[in-house]
Amino acid sequence: MDLRQLRYVVAVARFGGFTRAAEALHVAQPALSLAIRQLETELGVRLFDRTSRKVTSTDAGVAFVDRATRILSEVDGAAEEMAAFAGALRGTVRASIWYHLDPALPVLLRDFIAGNPGVTVSIVQLPTLAAIEELRAGALDFGVLGMTQPVDLSGLETITLREEPLVLAVRAGHPLARERTIPIARLGEVPLIMARPQTTLRRTTDYVLAAAGVTPEVILETNEIAAAVAYVSIGIGGLILSRSAIDGVGMPVAIVPIDDAPLYRVALTWNPAVHLRPAAAMALAYVQSVAERELARGPARAKASA
């Protein structure tokens, strides 16, 4: 058994097939398949059930992948730590960031990457609850999360980057665009583009509308903020979101304040119980320092900037 075989098994489990795993690892598919068959022979168990349609992990395979993932993480972490001792910081930073939530964050990442050319930043865009699960599991180093209702952040630490009320975005020229402010009850007058069910934004929006006796006409669902604002700009429907997130997309839409709207909180979030590798620890410390400096300038409205 060697580390190469462990990486092959983890990749097949992750990508759900030998061909995609081989492509991701830049190896020949027959060589990958042979290495895994040899490992299965050595272990005396099948790690994968193979059919012409799909590849699935056996119970033994699930257990093996879990342990192999931890082994590879420790090995990679050791290599990164030794590189740091040698004065060559390298590794991967794993973060969940919707850049429209705070448009200045990409500038921070740009500056960090420029100062640390051996580091790769891997960004995913996860719904808040999914990102929290990944942070607790140690699969993410940190996240910039949008929250519109209390969520369980036990065991995690946060720094608020911004807190502001939700607003309604409509196309320029829409009848509601002339209003200085509208009550929640009038949100039933426009078809809405909404986040998908089970997201914190959707749950909050559904609750607020229901409390006001509004049955919304949901015309489109998407978690892609830029796409949602673009759809608003061409008149597909209205969007309930924070003004900063809407403005960050840079599309021509009208903003209408909502009376008694819930607050939208954007927070840098991390798990202090997880031992971060040197590159991730440095990246988090860099973002933290900027956020804390900005927080000192204005309570609960810290805005990351270069």
What 8-state DSSP symbol labels residue 262?
P
What 8-state DSSP symbol labels residue 188?
G
Q: What's 52's domain CATH number?
A: 1.10.10.10
pTM greater than the 0.95 cutoff: no
My answer on whether 81 and 172 are in the same domain is no
Task: Confirm whether 149 is domain-assigned.
Answer: no
Q: What is the pLDDT of residue 112?
A: 81
Segments of the chain scoring below 50 in pLDDT:
299-306
Give the DSSP H/E element, type plus range, for residue 146.
Answer: strand 142-147
Listed residue (7, 65, 89) closest to 276, CA to CA = 89
Bridge partners, 278 (sequence order): none
**Using one digit for the tens of pLDDT, what is the confidence trace for 28-65?**
999 999 999 999 999 999 999 887 778 889 999 999 99
Q: What's 208's domain CATH number?
A: 3.40.190.290
Task: Confirm whether 70 is domain-assigned.
Answer: yes
My answer on whether 259 and 171 are in the same domain is yes
What 8-state DSSP symbol labels residue 182?
B
Structural domain boundaries, residue 13: 3-85
Quick one: tokens of 149?
């209702």
Task: Confirm whether 73 is domain-assigned.
Answer: yes
Task: Confirm whether 100 is domain-assigned.
Answer: no
Question: Of 85, 114, 142, which residue is a domain's last?
Answer: 85
Domains held by the chain: number: 2
Q: What is the pLDDT of residue 160?
A: 87
My answer on whether 256 and 167 are in the same domain is yes
Measure the N-to-C terminal CA separation of the chain; round to a whole number of Å. 47
Task: Confirm whether 177 is domain-assigned.
Answer: yes
Contact 91, 120 (CB under 8 A): yes
Question: Of 66, 85, 104, which residue is a domain's last?
Answer: 85
What is the rounded CA–CA span in Å between residue 243 and residue 170?
A: 12
Q: What is the pLDDT of residue 114?
A: 82
Residues in the chain: 306
Quick one: tokens of 253?
């839409």
Task: Confirm whether 257 is domain-assigned.
Answer: yes
Bridge partners, 194 (sequence order): 221
Widest CA span in the chain:
72
**Cα radius of gyration (the chain):** 23
What is the DSSP code string of 96-107? EE-GGGSTTHHH
**Using one digit for the tens of pLDDT, what is the confidence trace for 194-224?**
988 878 788 888 888 998 899 999 999 998 8
Q: What is the pLDDT of residue 85?
A: 63
Q: What is the pLDDT of residue 302?
A: 41
Task: Confirm whether 230 is domain-assigned.
Answer: yes
Contact 131, 183 (CB under 8 A): no
Q: What is the pLDDT of residue 256?
A: 96
Q: What is the pLDDT of residue 83?
A: 66
What is the rounded CA–CA span in Å between residue 258 and residue 296?
A: 29
Task: Confirm whether 294 is domain-assigned.
Answer: no
Q: What is the pLDDT of residue 295?
A: 67
Q: What is the pLDDT of residue 50?
A: 85
Q: What is the pLDDT of residue 304?
A: 36
Listed residue (212, 207, 248) closest to 228, CA to CA = 248
What is the rounded CA–CA span in Å between residue 183 and residue 92?
A: 46
Tokens 């942070």 sit at which residue?
135
Question: Of 32, 54, 85, which residue is a domain's last?
Answer: 85
